[in-house]
Amino acid sequence: MTDAIYLRPAGFVDAPFGHDGKVARLAGGLAWFSAVEIVTDTGAELVQVEGIEARLDERVRLVWANLVAPRPPLMLGERVIRFDQPQVVGIVNVTPDSFSGDGSAADLEAAITSGHAMASAGAAIVDVGGESTRPGAKAVWDGDEIARIEPVVRQLAAGGTAVSIDTRKATVMEAALGAGARLINDVSALTWDPNAAGVVAAAGCPIVLMHHKGAPETMQDDPHYDRPVLLEVYDWLSKRIDAAVAAGIDRSRIIVDPGFGFGKTVRHNLQLMNGLAMLHGLGCPLMLGASRKRTIGAISNEAPVDQRLAGSLTFALKAAEQGAQMLRVHDVAETVQALRVWRGLRDAALTPEPSRP
Protein backbone atom coordinates (compact mmCIF):
# COMPACT_ATOMS: atom_id res chain seq x y z
CA MET A 1 0.00 0.00 0.00
CA THR A 2 1.15 3.55 -0.71
CA ASP A 3 -0.17 7.03 -0.10
CA ALA A 4 0.25 7.92 -3.77
CA ILE A 5 -2.51 9.78 -5.58
CA TYR A 6 -3.18 9.34 -9.28
CA LEU A 7 -5.29 11.31 -11.75
CA ARG A 8 -7.15 9.54 -14.55
CA PRO A 9 -8.75 11.82 -17.16
CA ALA A 10 -12.41 11.03 -17.78
CA GLY A 11 -15.49 12.63 -19.29
CA PHE A 12 -13.92 13.12 -22.72
CA VAL A 13 -15.64 15.59 -25.07
CA ASP A 14 -15.30 16.11 -28.81
CA ALA A 15 -14.26 19.78 -28.62
CA PRO A 16 -13.75 22.54 -26.06
CA PHE A 17 -16.12 25.07 -27.63
CA GLY A 18 -18.72 26.36 -25.21
CA HIS A 19 -16.95 24.70 -22.27
CA ASP A 20 -14.55 27.44 -21.21
CA GLY A 21 -12.95 26.51 -17.92
CA LYS A 22 -14.86 23.23 -17.80
CA VAL A 23 -12.57 21.07 -19.94
CA ALA A 24 -8.82 20.55 -20.22
CA ARG A 25 -6.65 19.48 -23.14
CA LEU A 26 -4.78 16.24 -22.60
CA ALA A 27 -1.00 16.55 -23.09
CA GLY A 28 -1.36 19.08 -25.90
CA GLY A 29 -3.06 16.55 -28.16
CA LEU A 30 -6.48 16.17 -29.73
CA ALA A 31 -8.36 15.00 -26.63
CA TRP A 32 -10.27 17.13 -24.14
CA PHE A 33 -11.68 15.89 -20.84
CA SER A 34 -14.18 17.34 -18.39
CA ALA A 35 -13.47 15.26 -15.29
CA VAL A 36 -10.74 13.37 -13.52
CA GLU A 37 -10.88 10.32 -11.36
CA ILE A 38 -8.72 10.91 -8.28
CA VAL A 39 -7.43 7.43 -7.51
CA THR A 40 -5.73 6.01 -4.42
CA ASP A 41 -5.15 2.48 -3.23
CA THR A 42 -8.32 2.69 -1.18
CA GLY A 43 -10.74 4.11 -3.71
CA ALA A 44 -11.55 6.71 -6.34
CA GLU A 45 -13.48 9.95 -6.57
CA LEU A 46 -14.73 11.54 -9.78
CA VAL A 47 -14.43 15.34 -9.82
CA GLN A 48 -15.06 17.96 -12.48
CA VAL A 49 -12.19 19.79 -14.15
CA GLU A 50 -13.71 23.19 -13.45
CA GLY A 51 -11.80 24.73 -10.55
CA ILE A 52 -9.85 21.55 -9.91
CA GLU A 53 -6.45 23.14 -9.29
CA ALA A 54 -7.74 24.94 -6.24
CA ARG A 55 -8.75 21.58 -4.77
CA LEU A 56 -5.42 19.83 -5.30
CA ASP A 57 -2.48 19.95 -2.93
CA GLU A 58 0.95 20.88 -4.27
CA ARG A 59 2.06 17.30 -4.84
CA VAL A 60 -1.00 16.38 -6.89
CA ARG A 61 -0.93 19.69 -8.72
CA LEU A 62 2.33 18.56 -10.32
CA VAL A 63 0.59 15.46 -11.70
CA TRP A 64 -2.17 17.70 -13.04
CA ALA A 65 0.44 19.90 -14.72
CA ASN A 66 1.90 16.80 -16.37
CA LEU A 67 -1.52 15.79 -17.67
CA VAL A 68 -2.16 19.04 -19.48
CA ALA A 69 1.34 20.11 -20.55
CA PRO A 70 2.08 19.75 -24.30
CA ARG A 71 4.82 17.27 -25.08
CA PRO A 72 7.84 18.77 -26.87
CA PRO A 73 8.58 17.46 -30.38
CA LEU A 74 10.85 14.46 -30.74
CA MET A 75 14.13 15.46 -32.39
CA LEU A 76 15.57 12.59 -34.44
CA GLY A 77 18.58 14.06 -36.21
CA GLU A 78 17.13 16.35 -38.86
CA ARG A 79 13.65 14.92 -38.40
CA VAL A 80 11.12 16.52 -36.09
CA ILE A 81 8.24 14.34 -34.85
CA ARG A 82 5.44 16.43 -33.38
CA PHE A 83 3.10 15.10 -30.73
CA ASP A 84 0.02 17.23 -31.33
CA GLN A 85 -1.52 14.12 -32.89
CA PRO A 86 -0.78 10.36 -32.76
CA GLN A 87 2.24 9.16 -34.71
CA VAL A 88 2.64 5.68 -36.20
CA VAL A 89 5.76 3.61 -35.55
CA GLY A 90 6.19 0.74 -37.99
CA ILE A 91 7.67 -2.57 -36.82
CA VAL A 92 10.38 -4.36 -38.81
CA ASN A 93 11.38 -7.62 -37.13
CA VAL A 94 14.67 -8.94 -38.50
CA THR A 95 14.25 -12.19 -36.61
CA PRO A 96 13.36 -15.76 -37.55
CA ASP A 97 11.05 -16.21 -34.55
CA SER A 98 8.92 -13.07 -34.29
CA PHE A 99 5.54 -13.79 -32.69
CA SER A 100 3.82 -11.89 -35.52
CA GLY A 101 5.24 -14.17 -38.20
CA ASP A 102 6.83 -11.27 -40.10
CA GLY A 103 10.47 -11.96 -39.29
CA SER A 104 12.83 -11.63 -42.23
CA ALA A 105 16.27 -12.55 -40.90
CA ALA A 106 16.94 -14.71 -43.94
CA ASP A 107 16.22 -11.83 -46.33
CA LEU A 108 17.63 -8.46 -45.28
CA GLU A 109 16.50 -6.90 -48.55
CA ALA A 110 12.91 -7.80 -47.70
CA ALA A 111 13.29 -6.12 -44.31
CA ILE A 112 14.71 -2.99 -45.92
CA THR A 113 11.95 -2.92 -48.52
CA SER A 114 9.35 -3.37 -45.80
CA GLY A 115 10.80 -0.47 -43.81
CA HIS A 116 10.79 1.86 -46.81
CA ALA A 117 7.21 0.85 -47.59
CA MET A 118 6.14 1.63 -44.01
CA ALA A 119 7.71 5.08 -44.21
CA SER A 120 5.99 5.71 -47.54
CA ALA A 121 2.68 4.58 -46.05
CA GLY A 122 2.92 7.19 -43.31
CA ALA A 123 5.00 5.75 -40.48
CA ALA A 124 6.82 8.59 -38.73
CA ILE A 125 9.41 6.13 -37.41
CA VAL A 126 10.44 2.59 -38.34
CA ASP A 127 11.43 0.43 -35.36
CA VAL A 128 13.97 -2.28 -36.24
CA GLY A 129 14.51 -5.27 -33.94
CA GLY A 130 16.88 -8.22 -34.16
CA GLU A 131 15.85 -10.17 -31.06
CA SER A 132 12.38 -11.53 -30.37
CA THR A 133 11.03 -10.79 -26.90
CA ARG A 134 7.81 -12.75 -27.35
CA PRO A 135 6.77 -14.98 -24.43
CA GLY A 136 9.24 -17.86 -24.19
CA ALA A 137 11.88 -16.25 -26.40
CA LYS A 138 15.56 -16.89 -25.68
CA ALA A 139 18.25 -14.21 -25.61
CA VAL A 140 20.28 -13.67 -28.78
CA TRP A 141 24.07 -13.17 -28.82
CA ASP A 142 25.01 -9.52 -29.37
CA GLY A 143 27.02 -10.27 -32.50
CA ASP A 144 24.12 -12.08 -34.16
CA GLU A 145 21.73 -9.29 -33.26
CA ILE A 146 24.06 -6.64 -34.69
CA ALA A 147 24.51 -8.64 -37.90
CA ARG A 148 20.74 -8.74 -38.31
CA ILE A 149 19.92 -5.10 -37.68
CA GLU A 150 22.95 -3.07 -38.78
CA PRO A 151 22.50 -3.28 -42.58
CA VAL A 152 18.76 -2.68 -42.26
CA VAL A 153 19.18 0.37 -40.04
CA ARG A 154 21.93 1.75 -42.29
CA GLN A 155 19.91 1.41 -45.49
CA LEU A 156 16.71 2.83 -44.02
CA ALA A 157 18.49 5.77 -42.41
CA ALA A 158 20.43 6.50 -45.61
CA GLY A 159 17.12 6.70 -47.45
CA GLY A 160 15.81 9.37 -45.08
CA THR A 161 13.71 7.17 -42.80
CA ALA A 162 13.66 7.97 -39.09
CA VAL A 163 14.81 4.73 -37.44
CA SER A 164 14.59 3.44 -33.90
CA ILE A 165 16.30 0.31 -32.62
CA ASP A 166 14.44 -2.20 -30.49
CA THR A 167 17.10 -3.74 -28.24
CA ARG A 168 18.13 -4.32 -24.61
CA LYS A 169 21.86 -4.43 -25.28
CA ALA A 170 24.38 -1.59 -25.07
CA THR A 171 26.60 -2.94 -27.84
CA VAL A 172 23.64 -3.26 -30.20
CA MET A 173 22.52 0.26 -29.29
CA GLU A 174 25.97 1.59 -30.18
CA ALA A 175 26.04 -0.28 -33.49
CA ALA A 176 22.56 0.90 -34.43
CA LEU A 177 23.29 4.52 -33.50
CA GLY A 178 26.44 4.33 -35.58
CA ALA A 179 24.38 3.06 -38.51
CA GLY A 180 21.92 5.95 -38.28
CA ALA A 181 19.28 5.03 -35.67
CA ARG A 182 18.11 8.01 -33.66
CA LEU A 183 15.87 6.45 -31.00
CA ILE A 184 16.36 3.55 -28.58
CA ASN A 185 13.37 1.35 -27.72
CA ASP A 186 14.34 -0.81 -24.73
CA VAL A 187 11.75 -3.34 -23.59
CA SER A 188 13.72 -3.76 -20.35
CA ALA A 189 13.62 -0.02 -19.57
CA LEU A 190 17.42 -0.03 -19.12
CA THR A 191 17.35 -2.83 -16.54
CA TRP A 192 18.84 -5.67 -18.62
CA ASP A 193 22.26 -4.26 -19.53
CA PRO A 194 24.09 -2.14 -16.92
CA ASN A 195 25.92 -0.28 -19.69
CA ALA A 196 22.80 0.69 -21.66
CA ALA A 197 21.92 3.85 -19.73
CA GLY A 198 25.44 5.20 -20.26
CA VAL A 199 25.19 4.64 -24.00
CA VAL A 200 21.88 6.49 -24.19
CA ALA A 201 23.10 9.35 -22.00
CA ALA A 202 26.29 9.78 -24.03
CA ALA A 203 24.39 9.73 -27.32
CA GLY A 204 21.81 12.22 -26.09
CA CYS A 205 19.14 10.29 -27.98
CA PRO A 206 15.52 9.67 -26.98
CA ILE A 207 14.70 6.43 -25.16
CA VAL A 208 11.53 4.39 -24.77
CA LEU A 209 11.22 2.82 -21.30
CA MET A 210 8.80 -0.10 -21.38
CA HIS A 211 7.21 -1.79 -18.39
CA HIS A 212 7.70 -5.53 -18.11
CA LYS A 213 7.39 -8.10 -15.39
CA GLY A 214 9.85 -10.96 -15.62
CA ALA A 215 12.11 -12.12 -18.43
CA PRO A 216 10.63 -13.07 -21.83
CA GLU A 217 11.32 -16.73 -21.09
CA THR A 218 8.95 -16.79 -18.11
CA MET A 219 6.96 -13.53 -18.02
CA GLN A 220 3.67 -15.13 -19.09
CA ASP A 221 3.87 -18.18 -16.83
CA ASP A 222 1.71 -16.70 -14.07
CA PRO A 223 1.76 -12.88 -14.07
CA HIS A 224 0.14 -11.28 -11.03
CA TYR A 225 0.11 -7.90 -9.31
CA ASP A 226 -0.44 -7.06 -5.66
CA ARG A 227 -2.17 -3.77 -6.51
CA PRO A 228 -4.27 -2.68 -9.51
CA VAL A 229 -2.08 -3.24 -12.55
CA LEU A 230 -2.45 0.34 -13.77
CA LEU A 231 -1.10 1.73 -10.50
CA GLU A 232 1.81 -0.73 -10.35
CA VAL A 233 2.77 0.03 -13.94
CA TYR A 234 2.55 3.77 -13.23
CA ASP A 235 4.80 3.56 -10.17
CA TRP A 236 7.29 1.25 -11.87
CA LEU A 237 7.61 3.58 -14.86
CA SER A 238 7.97 6.56 -12.54
CA LYS A 239 10.95 4.88 -10.86
CA ARG A 240 12.52 3.99 -14.21
CA ILE A 241 12.17 7.61 -15.35
CA ASP A 242 13.94 8.74 -12.18
CA ALA A 243 16.69 6.15 -12.72
CA ALA A 244 17.20 7.27 -16.31
CA VAL A 245 17.41 10.92 -15.29
CA ALA A 246 19.91 10.01 -12.55
CA ALA A 247 22.01 8.27 -15.22
CA GLY A 248 22.25 11.52 -17.18
CA ILE A 249 19.35 11.11 -19.63
CA ASP A 250 17.34 14.29 -20.20
CA ARG A 251 13.76 13.80 -19.01
CA SER A 252 12.47 15.54 -22.15
CA ARG A 253 13.91 12.65 -24.19
CA ILE A 254 12.09 9.90 -22.28
CA ILE A 255 9.04 8.07 -23.68
CA VAL A 256 7.10 5.50 -21.67
CA ASP A 257 5.33 2.32 -22.77
CA PRO A 258 3.03 0.29 -20.45
CA GLY A 259 4.27 -2.98 -21.95
CA PHE A 260 1.04 -4.47 -23.28
CA GLY A 261 1.45 -8.26 -23.05
CA PHE A 262 4.76 -8.23 -21.19
CA GLY A 263 4.04 -10.07 -17.95
CA LYS A 264 0.29 -9.44 -18.08
CA THR A 265 -2.86 -11.47 -18.44
CA VAL A 266 -5.66 -10.63 -20.85
CA ARG A 267 -7.49 -8.91 -18.01
CA HIS A 268 -4.40 -6.89 -17.09
CA ASN A 269 -4.01 -5.73 -20.69
CA LEU A 270 -7.63 -4.65 -20.96
CA GLN A 271 -7.44 -2.79 -17.65
CA LEU A 272 -4.34 -0.95 -18.90
CA MET A 273 -6.10 0.04 -22.11
CA ASN A 274 -9.13 1.35 -20.25
CA GLY A 275 -6.99 3.47 -17.93
CA LEU A 276 -4.23 4.44 -20.36
CA ALA A 277 -4.82 8.19 -20.01
CA MET A 278 -3.65 8.07 -16.40
CA LEU A 279 -0.08 7.46 -17.57
CA HIS A 280 0.11 10.99 -18.96
CA GLY A 281 0.52 12.01 -15.34
CA LEU A 282 4.14 10.84 -15.67
CA GLY A 283 4.79 13.82 -17.93
CA CYS A 284 6.33 11.85 -20.82
CA PRO A 285 5.07 10.96 -24.29
CA LEU A 286 3.27 7.63 -24.31
CA MET A 287 3.84 4.76 -26.74
CA LEU A 288 1.44 1.81 -27.04
CA GLY A 289 2.29 -1.47 -28.75
CA ALA A 290 -0.77 -3.75 -28.86
CA SER A 291 -0.58 -4.71 -32.53
CA ARG A 292 -1.44 -8.38 -33.22
CA LYS A 293 -0.97 -9.27 -29.55
CA ARG A 294 -2.25 -12.46 -27.95
CA THR A 295 -5.06 -10.63 -26.12
CA ILE A 296 -6.77 -9.94 -29.44
CA GLY A 297 -6.82 -13.62 -30.26
CA ALA A 298 -7.96 -14.57 -26.76
CA ILE A 299 -11.14 -12.50 -27.06
CA SER A 300 -11.69 -13.27 -30.76
CA ASN A 301 -12.23 -17.04 -30.82
CA GLU A 302 -8.46 -17.63 -30.84
CA ALA A 303 -7.94 -15.72 -34.07
CA PRO A 304 -4.43 -16.44 -35.41
CA VAL A 305 -1.85 -13.69 -35.65
CA ASP A 306 -2.54 -12.93 -39.31
CA GLN A 307 -6.24 -12.36 -38.55
CA ARG A 308 -5.89 -9.74 -35.80
CA LEU A 309 -5.94 -6.55 -37.87
CA ALA A 310 -9.39 -5.39 -36.74
CA GLY A 311 -8.52 -5.89 -33.09
CA SER A 312 -5.20 -4.10 -33.58
CA LEU A 313 -6.99 -1.10 -35.09
CA THR A 314 -9.48 -1.08 -32.22
CA PHE A 315 -6.67 -0.85 -29.68
CA ALA A 316 -4.88 1.80 -31.76
CA LEU A 317 -7.96 4.03 -31.85
CA LYS A 318 -8.66 3.44 -28.17
CA ALA A 319 -5.12 4.61 -27.42
CA ALA A 320 -5.47 7.63 -29.72
CA GLU A 321 -8.66 8.66 -27.95
CA GLN A 322 -6.72 8.66 -24.68
CA GLY A 323 -3.93 10.82 -26.03
CA ALA A 324 -1.24 8.23 -26.80
CA GLN A 325 1.40 9.97 -28.89
CA MET A 326 3.00 6.91 -30.52
CA LEU A 327 1.36 3.74 -31.83
CA ARG A 328 3.74 0.89 -32.59
CA VAL A 329 2.13 -1.33 -35.24
CA HIS A 330 2.75 -3.98 -37.88
CA ASP A 331 0.02 -2.83 -40.27
CA VAL A 332 1.09 0.72 -41.02
CA ALA A 333 -1.09 1.62 -44.02
CA GLU A 334 -4.27 0.39 -42.33
CA THR A 335 -3.47 2.14 -39.05
CA VAL A 336 -2.62 5.39 -40.82
CA GLN A 337 -5.94 5.27 -42.66
CA ALA A 338 -7.85 4.59 -39.44
CA LEU A 339 -6.11 7.53 -37.76
CA ARG A 340 -6.82 9.80 -40.70
CA VAL A 341 -10.53 9.06 -40.38
CA TRP A 342 -10.28 9.57 -36.62
CA ARG A 343 -8.41 12.85 -37.22
CA GLY A 344 -11.11 13.88 -39.70
CA LEU A 345 -13.72 13.43 -37.00
CA ARG A 346 -11.62 15.49 -34.60
CA ASP A 347 -11.12 18.23 -37.18
CA ALA A 348 -14.85 18.36 -37.86
CA ALA A 349 -15.53 18.69 -34.15
CA LEU A 350 -12.93 21.44 -33.88
CA THR A 351 -14.43 23.46 -36.73
CA PRO A 352 -17.62 24.99 -35.38
CA GLU A 353 -20.42 25.78 -37.79
CA PRO A 354 -20.39 29.48 -38.77
CA SER A 355 -23.27 31.38 -37.28
CA ARG A 356 -25.99 32.33 -39.72
CA PRO A 357 -27.27 35.90 -39.98
Per the residue annotation, which of 148, 213, 328, 346 is the catalytic one?
328
Per the residue annotation, which of 293, 294, 308, 346 is the catalytic one?
293
Sequence-distant (≥ 6) Cβ neighbours of residue 97 within 8 angstroms: 103, 132, 134, 137
- 227 as an active site residue: the answer is no
Using CA atoms in the order 224, 314, 340, 305, what is the torsion angle rounded to 10 degrees? 90
Sequence-distant (≥ 6) Cβ neighbours of residue 183 within 8 angstroms: 74, 76, 125, 127, 162, 163, 164, 165, 205, 206, 207, 208
Burial of 87 (C-beta count, 10 Å sphere; 0-12/13-18/19+): buried
Residue 164 falls in which region: left (phi positive, over 0), alpha (psi -120 to 50) or beta: beta
Sequence-distant (≥ 6) Cβ neighbours of residue 205 within 8 angstroms: 177, 181, 182, 183, 184, 253
- 22 as an active site residue: the answer is no
How does DSSP classify residue 252? G
What are the phi and psi torsion angles at 270 (to 5°)?
-70, -35
Residues designated catalytic: 293, 328
